[in-house]
Each structure stands twice: as structure tokens, then as C-alpha cells.
Structure 1
Amino acid sequence: MTSHTLILDEVRLALGGRTLMEIDAVIGPGEVLTVMGPSGAGKSTLLAMIAGFLDPAFEARGRVWLGAREITALPAETRGIGLLFQDPLLFPHLTVAGNLRFGMPRGVKHRTACIEQALDEVGLAGFGPRDPATLSGGQQARIALLRLLLSEPAAALLDEPFSRLDRQLRHEVRQLVFDRLRRAGLPSLLVTHDHEDAENAGGPVITLG
């Protein structure tokens, strides 16, 4: 997979004429930039703008680049952005393997073997036929991460992805997520309220408000 840099070039977000945030940043391959701030500061709005599903009520200026490609005006599905949210958002009508297969690019060969290997790497060997509803919170978080990685994105956006986990589980999943994103060489943007998230991400931190 080719590694890219995610560039936020003089991005400004406003609502009703009021500026929510201004940000200029370069996120290198395997680096995690953390954006912290209170609710309403525009953190999730920034992710929506980068991913391509910003509510039309917001005004956005500036440009977003992924490698040499400007993605500011591209449809969301062509941007190459992977997303992790507070909730795993697994499809209830699909098995674990079905969830993982869902986002994989069409040209991938030996899909079943790829899925089995990915599950094995996160300690979930043999979980492919399972119903997502039978998984613990930590297991669901691992599946959500694998689904992102198997979709082969060029960058990742993380919207408070650890906030629903208890403290011990949060630490384990956080370490797994950041390790795998670094290994995949993905430029990643994390928004969070939690200082431990920022500390574990190990990259630069921008504090809003």
C-alpha cells in the first residue's frame, strides 16, 4: 500500500457566520494528529469536512490533500478515508467475516484467507462465523478496526473511538489501534476529550477553544 501525507491547507469552518475553527496541518504517514477541545468546538465537523459528508449548514474554506491528490470536492466514497467512531457500527445482519468482507476492495484475492489472518492477528481466530451481537465491546472495537484496515484506506479519521470502553479495555484497544495505524503507514486524525488518548497517540496535539 502506498503511504500518503494528509494536508489540511488553511481549513476554516464556520456556522452562521461564526468561525468554529481554523486549522493548518500536515500529517505524515503513520502519524496521529490529535485535536482536542470542548463539545461544540467543531472537532466532529472537521472530520465530516475531511471525509466528505459535511452538513450544508456549515461553511468550509481551505483545501484537503491526500498525497498529491486534492480531495476537497470529491465524493466521500472516492476519497480513500477510513473512519472509526464511538460505536463500532457493525452490520447486525452480517457475520463478523461478512462485516470485514464488506469494505474490502474488489480486486483483493483470497479474501477468506485475508480475513482469517487479520482475525488471528488481533486474537480473534475463528470468529468469522460469529454474530456481531455475541461479541464483547472490546471484540467489536477490534472488528471495527480490522474493517477499516481491510478497506485499504489512504488515511484514517478517529472520532472518540475509545470513549465507550471501560478504562482497562480502553488502554488495550487504544494501544492496538495506534500500533496498527502506524504499521499501516496511515496518516490519522484523532478527535478526543481524553488527554490519555492524546498521550498514547504520540503525535502533535492541537487544542481548540
Structure 2
Amino acid sequence: PDTIRFWKTRIEETDADKTFSVGLIYGPSGCGKSSLLAFICGTLPPVFGATGEARLDGGSLDGLPPEQRHVGILFQDDLLFPHMSVGENLSFGLPPGVTGRDERRARVEAALAEAGLEGMADRDPDTLSGGQRGRVAVMRTLLSQPRALLLDEPFSKLDADLRERFRTFVFAHARDNRIPTLLVTHDPSDAEAAAGPVVELL
């Protein structure tokens, strides 16, 4: 199995030695959870060093720039583009091969319907609630058809009911489409819903 190690001044070396479908990354603050996600998607800062190999679908991701890894990542902050409408934000996530205006609009409208945001394509992101913005961010990532999905506490700003429903949607989408998924969270309900193997970083 592959081993990934991280080190930085005054941070103990950590190992991950797991394979997963929908898995949980668990550990105390500063142990390297977000660094592990950055290693996988190719954005680990130069101040860090890493040994080991990240593999996806039987192939190594080593040496590939982030845009060629096709790994989707969601953060606690939604990172929507403020100068774009909701629909334009979603359209930004579509694969390059989806070029027809009608097809792009149809996919955006379908994504809005799945997220319970029908009729909001022309809205400014700043007019949305935190939960609505979170759903737009999730749908934008899913529209990109990622080969793997990394979740860095993306449900934390949603209220309890919406958190449960949308978390269920994201996990079901990942499983149904066989998208390997890693979740970083401190919420026990998130961990229970993931129902996958745990990578514990010490």
C-alpha cells in the first residue's frame, strides 16, 4: 500500500496508509489533514515536504499539475466568484467539452433543481444565504465531473436539517458515480454519515 508522509518544523511526521471510497480523515488541529488534501490535489505549498505517492484509478498523480488531476475540492468557505451570477458560477464548473449554450444552460438548470435552488441562475451570490451559497459551491464542483472528491469541512456552515439532506446527496452522488471521496470533519454526524474507513493522523 502507498504511504504518505508530511513534515514541517515542530510538526510530528504523520502517515496515511489507506484505500477508500468515502472515507474520513480524523485528527487534532495541526496534524496535517488539510495538507494531505493539498498533497492529493497538487497544491501542497513548497514549505512542506512529502514522500510517497497519491494514486487514482490505478495511476500515479505525482508530477501532474492540479488542473490535470481532475480532483474536486470543497472548503469551509464557498469561494464563489463575486463578479459572476449563480448560473455563471455553476457554468464555470462545467467540463470544457460541454460547449453548446443550450446544453450548458440545461446542465446549470438541472444542477439548481437538484440543489433546491430553482430560478436562482441570475441571482448575485451575495444575495444568497450561507446555506444556499454552500449548495452552489458543491454543485459547481460536481458539475466538473471530478475523478475524486475532497471535502474539507464543506457542510459546517449549513443548518442541521440542510446539512443532513445535502450531505446525504453529496455522499450518494459520490457512491453512485464511484467517485473516491475523502472528508475532513470534526462533526460526529458527518463521520457517521460517511460510513467509510477512517484515516487517523496523529
The answer to whether TM tops 0.5 is: yes
Query: What does 1:167-178 align with in structure 2 at a 5 Å threshold?
Result: 167-178=160-171
2:34 aligned residue (34, 37, 44) = 44
* Cα offset, 1:93, TM superposition: 0.5
Moved more, 176-185 or 105-114: 176-185
TM-score (norm: length of structure 2): 0.92
Shift of 1:99: 0.3
- Which residue among 145, 154, 159 is the counterpart of 2:152? 159
Contact 1:44–1:159 under 8 Å retained in 2 = yes
Unaligned runs of 5+ in 1: 1-7
Aligned to 2:172: 179
Counterpart-to-counterpart distance in 2, 1:18 and 1:203: 27
Is 2:135 aligned against 1:142? yes
Q: Which has the higher strand share?
A: 1
Structure 1 residues 140-192: Cα deviation after superposition (integer angstroms, max 9, x where no partner): 11111110111111000010112223333322332222122223321001111
1:61 aligned to 2:51?
Answer: yes
State the secondary structure of the residue aligned to 1:106: coil
Q: Percent identity?
A: 50
CA contact (8 A) 1:64 1:71 kept: yes
Paired residue type of 1:159: D
Contact 1:86/1:161 (8 A) holds in 2: yes
Give the TM-score of the pair, scaled to structure 1.
0.89
- Which of 64, 70, 78 aligns to 1:88? It is 78
Structure 2 counterpart SS, 1:147: helix
The aligned residue for residue 4 of structure 2 is: 11
1:19 positional shift: 3.8
CA deviation string 1:92-131 (max 9, x = no partner):
1000110011121111141111111111122111111111
> What CA distance in whole angstroms lies between the structure 2 residues aligned with 1:184 and 1:94?
29
SS in 2 for 1:26: coil
Is the 1:12–1:19 Cα contact (8 Å) retained in structure 2?
no
Q: CA deviation at 1:197?
A: 1.0
Partner Cα separation in structure 2 for residue 33 and residue 92 of structure 1? 32
* Shift in CA distance, 41/194, structure 1 to aligned 2, threshold 3 Å: same
Work out the CA distance in 2 between the residues paired with 1:55 and 1:206. 22
Kindly indicate whether the alpha-carbon contact (under 8 Å) linking 1:37 and 1:192 is maintained by their aligned counterparts in 2: no
Structure 1 residue 24, shift from structure 2 partner: 1.3
1:18 Cα deviation (Å)?
5.1
Q: Give the C-alpha shift of residue 20 in structure 1.
A: 3.2
Q: 1:98 is paired with a residue of what secondary structure?
A: helix
Structure 1 Cα separation of the partners of residues 12 and 56 of structure 2:
25
